[in-house]
Amino acid sequence: MEARTQPTTHATMLGRTPPGAAAPAGSAPPPLKAESRGLSFHYGKFQALKSITMPVHEHRVTALIGPSGCGKSTFLRCFNRMHDLYPGNRYEGEIVLYPDNTNLLDRDVDPIEVRMRVSMVFQKPNPFPKSIYENVAYGLRVRGVKNRNLLDDKVEASLRGAALWDEVKGRLHEVGSNLSGGQQQRLCIARALATDPEILLFDEPTSALDPIATASIEELIAELRRQVTILIVTHNMQQAARVSDYTAYMYLGELIEFDRTDTIFFKPRRKETEDYITGRFG
Amino acid sequence: MSDHTSKQFDAEMEAIRSGVLSMGGMVERQMTRAITALREDEDARLIDAVAADEREINHSQVLIDQQCAQIIARRQPTAVDLRVVMTVTKVVNELERIGDEIKKVAYKSARVRGNDQLTRLRYHDVVRMAMGAQEMLRKALDAFARLDVNEAADVVEEDDEIDVAFNGVMRQLISYMMEDPRTITPALEVVFIAKSLERIGDHAKNISESVVQAVKGKDVRHATADQIRAEVAGE
């Protein structure tokens, strides 16, 4: 975001932060978009998250890594109150969304409102059994938008935002599930973008995709961080290294280390982190 | 350092590390031969052996660099593994250049031989410099083998001593040349020998700085000896 406002002369291009990379070490961190404070989460009697306090920087990609069962997906899902759907689940602590200081976990906050502001993209592409157009327009229709022109504009903008427009503009009324896996995942991203969310959550968005489709989703994530703040759970450590600005390493429901991705992958502070990312885990 | 889940990765890293150590052994052997050439009477076989060592060292450099490229391509090392691989590529580069300098020392020493005016010089200060450089090289390799940052910091400090010794030799040679212009040609050969020895000290220092980076994750290449000592003492 720092580079966009400057004229792109060669001098500024040389001096600027390359896209996809965090600001150089030592510069002030970007403002916070959200913050988890002392967040614990229980599935019935099982405590899946243990007092997690972690910042989420605005217009940055934060990756959550850790072995299976470490709580990274549970943590991600707290951000859009996905756990509300099942009885017996219990939150403690808070997730504060800035700039309005809303605690997402507050009982008085409507989870539907939260999900408008914090959208999610899942591991397996899950388009609705509807046309491409209706998949993207769905969130807006739920909101009560009926104006045809407005819907058209928003669908196009979202599909462009998800780098899918050029591939589907001639067949918007075909069924979404006819698309390839990578295209379906981008359709789900377009659907998530249509409501203008502030945060996008990705839960292993490329684990069902081939390397080319994976690369296009990663490229998209790098583009999307200009407009939204991104949290991504991934099993692929190299993917975390490639796409994220910040990385959090979790283990057994605890946040072991949070730092700039450059630091985590070159010289992490904690031995546990070093062992995990170098493949000495287990 | 505990083992990787992938034993194959462990084996590949170990092969690279031991490759560097055996390359270091070749350079040390070459250095011993060059010092003998500097001190003793002419022995053409010794010079040939130094040249053969240098070819072997070059071959090792290429081989180890290939292994590093392979491990980066296939394993995408991170954190300590990445730092060690990066250090290895730098260390083999430094060792190869040390090999070049040692070869120059051996060749030049053959050319100074038999020149009476300069024998006193050759047998004293220059040989002492060579021993200092040899000791720095030994310690730098030891620091690499054991990832010992304290020993690495010692080497960085010793580099100052070899620089002082170099300046001393220079002053001495200048007074020789001013006194008797006939000594200029052989004295210049000795200047080159001393310069090569001083460079060997620099390369040993570079190896040590890479060791600090591998262990501490901090680039100390342009830091002072005191700053490096402080970094090493940290944590």
Does residue A225 fall inside a structural domain? Answer: yes
Give bridge partners of residue B141 from the DSSP assignment: none
Interatomic CA distance for residues B127 and A196, integer angstroms: 75
Residue B5 has its nearest CB partner, among A241, A266, A282, at: A282
User: Looking at beta carbons, which residues of chain B come within 8 Å of A280?
Assistant: 1-5
**Across the interface, do A275 and B2 touch by the CB < 8 Å criterion?**
yes
**pLDDT one-digit tens code per residue, B80-128:** 999 999 999 999 999 999 999 999 999 988 887 665 656 655 568 899 9
Interatomic CA distance for residues B110 and B112, integer angstroms: 6
- Are B174 and B168 within 8 A, CB to CB? no
Mean pLDDT, rounded, of chain B = 91
The whole-angstrom distance between B19's CA and the closest CA on chain A is: 22
**Across the interface, do B5 and A277 touch by the CB < 8 Å criterion?**
no
Does residue A255 fall inside a structural domain? Answer: yes
Interatomic CA distance for residues B184 and A197, integer angstroms: 80
Tokens representing A207 are 């684990």
Interatomic CA distance for residues B148 and B193, integer angstroms: 30
Residue B80 has its nearest CB partner, among A274, A281, A282, at: A274
Does residue A184 fall inside a structural domain? Answer: no
Q: Which domains does chain B have, with CATH numbers?
A: 7-233 (1.20.58.220)
What phi, psi does A235 have (nearest 5°)? -85, -15
Interatomic CA distance for residues A259 and A125, integer angstroms: 30
Interatomic CA distance for residues B132 and B35, integer angstroms: 11
Which amino acid would we find at residue A77? R
**Across the interface, do B83 and A238 touch by the CB < 8 Å criterion?**
no
Q: What is the CATH number of the domain that holds A62?
A: 3.40.50.300
- Are A162 and A220 within 8 A, CB to CB? yes
- Are A217 and A163 within 8 A, CB to CB? no
Give bridge partners of residue A40 from the DSSP assignment: A92
Q: Which residues contact B102 (CB under 8 A, 6 or more apart)?
A: B27, B30, B31, B34, B50, B53, B54, B196, B200
User: Looking at beta carbons, which residues of chain A come within 8 Å of B4?
Assistant: 278-280
Give bridge partners of residue A175 from the DSSP assignment: A131
Residues lower than pLDDT 70 in chain A? 1-27, 282
Interatomic CA distance for residues B130 and B126, integer angstroms: 6
pLDDT at res. B3:
86
The whole-angstrom distance between A86's CA and the closest CA on chain B is: 37
pLDDT at res. A54:
97
Question: Which residues of B, range 21-80, sit inside 8 Å of A by Cβ?
Answer: 76-80
**Across the interface, do B79 and A277 touch by the CB < 8 Å criterion?**
yes
Exposed / middle / buried, residue B64 (Cβ in 10 Å: 0-12, 13-18, 19+): buried
Does residue A171 fall inside a structural domain? Answer: no
pLDDT at res. A15:
43
pLDDT at res. B42:
65
Which DSSP category does A147 fall into? -
Name the residue of chain B whose CA is nearest to A236's CA.
B76
Pairing of strands A199-203, A32-43: unpaired
**Across the interface, do A280 and B5 touch by the CB < 8 Å criterion?**
yes
**Across the interface, do A279 and B80 touch by the CB < 8 Å criterion?**
no
**Across the interface, do B82 and A265 touch by the CB < 8 Å criterion?**
yes
- Are B103 and B54 within 8 A, CB to CB? yes
pLDDT at res. A103:
94
Q: In a 3-state reduction of DSSP, which class is residue B21? A: helix
pLDDT at res. B176:
87
- Are B30 and B57 within 8 A, CB to CB? yes
| Residues of A engaging B, defined by a Cβ cutoff of 8 Å | 237-238, 241, 265-268, 273-275, 277-282
Buried b (16+ CB within 10 A) or exposed e, B114-123: ebeebeebbe
Does residue A154 fall inside a structural domain? Answer: no
Residue A266 has its nearest CB partner, among B9, B76, B217, at: B217
Interatomic CA distance for residues B235 and B215, integer angstroms: 12
**Across the interface, do B79 and A280 touch by the CB < 8 Å criterion?**
no
Domain encompassing residue A58: 31-125+199-277
Which DSSP category does A105 fall into? T
pLDDT at res. A20:
42
The whole-angstrom distance between A265's CA and the closest CA on chain B is: 5
pLDDT at res. A84:
86
Interatomic CA distance for residues A70 and A254, integer angstroms: 8
Interatomic CA distance for residues B87 and B92, integer angstroms: 9
Name the residue of chain A whose CA is nearest to B82's CA.
A266
Residues lower than pLDDT 70 in chain B? 1, 41-42, 113-123, 235
Q: Which residue intervals of chain B are DSSP H helices?
A: 7-39, 44-75, 79-112, 116-121, 127-146, 149-179, 184-216, 225-233
pTM: 0.82
**Across the interface, do B79 and A267 touch by the CB < 8 Å criterion?**
yes
Query: Which of A33, A170, A184 is closest to A101 using CA atoms?
Result: A33
Tally of domains in chain A:
1
- Are A229 and A200 within 8 A, CB to CB? yes
For CA atoms A19, A20, A24, A27, the dihedral sign is positive
User: Looking at beta carbons, which residues of chain A come within 8 Å of B83?
Assistant: 266-267
Q: What is the DSSP string of B34-93?
A: HHHHHHS---HHHHHHHHHHHHHHHHHHHHHHHHHHHHHHHH---HHHHHHHHHHHHHHH
**Across the interface, do B80 and A238 touch by the CB < 8 Å criterion?**
no
Q: Which residues contact B118 (CB under 8 A, 6 or more apart)?
A: B112, B176, B183, B186, B187, B190
What spatial distance separates the first Cα and last Cα of chain A, rounded to whole Å? 40
